[in-house]
């Protein structure tokens, strides 16, 4: 059974960089698209971006200038960095395994439990 | 940027049929997927590729597609179906690949 677990600070100061890691167990990190998705309190889901096991990335155009996703295949984990955060970046952040075909479809097969990150001084 | 539009809320009585729509210009070209999210939990996919029901999802969940609108139908709604439902799809050109969610629909079982 594939499991994903997010980890990282729950509180980040405005203007700083949010950093999260997703550790994958029960399956190799190869072949699939590895995604970050967030959900502000009481609001809808928002896709942040993904990385293929090869290292190629795709980002939400609205966040692209502030987002970096990287993969560590040797430790079966991938990471998110979101720079220059503001209160609007306060959200539950999920990592998820994506199945799809580049430029065509993508769906989210397995999700982490989510971790709340609050941006506040 | 590309958007998927859902009604904010749908209410039905137990045993009735709930229909939740999702509209988007690229839906004729790209599959839609539906997720159920209960409070405090991660989403779970209930419909794949417009009409396919993943293993373990009850038969009362079904999906359909017509032009720029896809519909999630829950037949014989049960109290446990009360949740938020999100459609999700993609948009692409030669230079980008965007993944989008609808705004979500809160299903209330009266």
Q: Using CB atoms, pick whichever of A50, A104, A111 lies closest to residue B30.
A: A104
| Residue A58 pLDDT | 93
Q: What is the mean pLDDT of residues B23-42?
A: 96
B86 touches B92 (CB < 8 A): no
Provide the pLDDT confidence category of residue A99 given band limits of 50, 70 and 90.
very high
Nearest chain A residue (CA) to B33: A107
| Residue A38 pLDDT | 98
Residue A31 pLDDT > 90: no
| Residue B97 pLDDT | 84
> Which DSSP string corresponds to A11-76?
EE-TTS-EEEEEEEESS-SSSSEEEEEEE-TTS--EEEEEEETTS-EEE-TTTGGGEEEEEEGGGT
B55-101 residue pLDDT tens: 999 999 999 999 999 999 999 999 999 999 999 999 887 677 899 99
Provide the pLDDT confidence category of residue A40 given band limits of 50, 70 and 90.
very high
CB pairs under 8 A between A and B: 63
Measured between CA atoms, how close is B7 to chain A, in angstroms? Answer: 13
Measured between CA atoms, how close is B14 to chain A, in angstroms? Answer: 25
A42-58 residue pLDDT tens: 999 999 999 998 889 99
Q: What is the mean pLDDT of residues B41-55?
A: 97
A84-95 residue pLDDT tens: 999 999 999 999
Average pLDDT, chain A: 95
Distance CA B103, CA B88 (A): 10
């Amino acid at each position: 059974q594939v499991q994903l677990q997010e980890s990282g600070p729950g509180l980040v100061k405005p203007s700083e960089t949010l950093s999260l890691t997703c550790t994958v167990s029960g399956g190799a990190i190869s072949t699939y698209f590895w995604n970050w998705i967030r959900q502000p309190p009481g609001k809808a889901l928002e896709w942040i971006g993904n990385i293929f096991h090869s290292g190629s990335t795709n980002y939400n155009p609205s966040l692209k200038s502030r987002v970096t996703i990287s993969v560590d295949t040797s430790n079966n984990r991938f990471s998110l960095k979101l720079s220059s955060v503001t209160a609007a970046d306060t959200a539950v952040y999920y990592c998820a395994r994506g199945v799809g075909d580049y430029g065509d479809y993508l769906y989210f097969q397995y999700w982490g439990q989510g971790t709340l990150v609050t941006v506040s001084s | 940027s590309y958007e998927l539009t859902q009604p904010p809320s749908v209410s039905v009585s137990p045993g009735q049929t709930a229909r939740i729509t999702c509209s988007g210009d690229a839906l004729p070209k790209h599959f839609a997927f539906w997720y159920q999210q209960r409070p405090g939990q991660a989403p779970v996919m209930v419909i794949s590729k417009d009409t396919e029901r993943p293993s373990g999802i009850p038969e009362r969940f079904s999906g359909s597609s017509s032009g720029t609108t896809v519909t999630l139908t829950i037949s014989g709604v049960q109290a446990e179906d009360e949740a938020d439902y999100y459609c999700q799809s993609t948009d692409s050109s030669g230079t980008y690949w965007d993944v989008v969610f609808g705004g979500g629909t809160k299903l209330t079982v009266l």
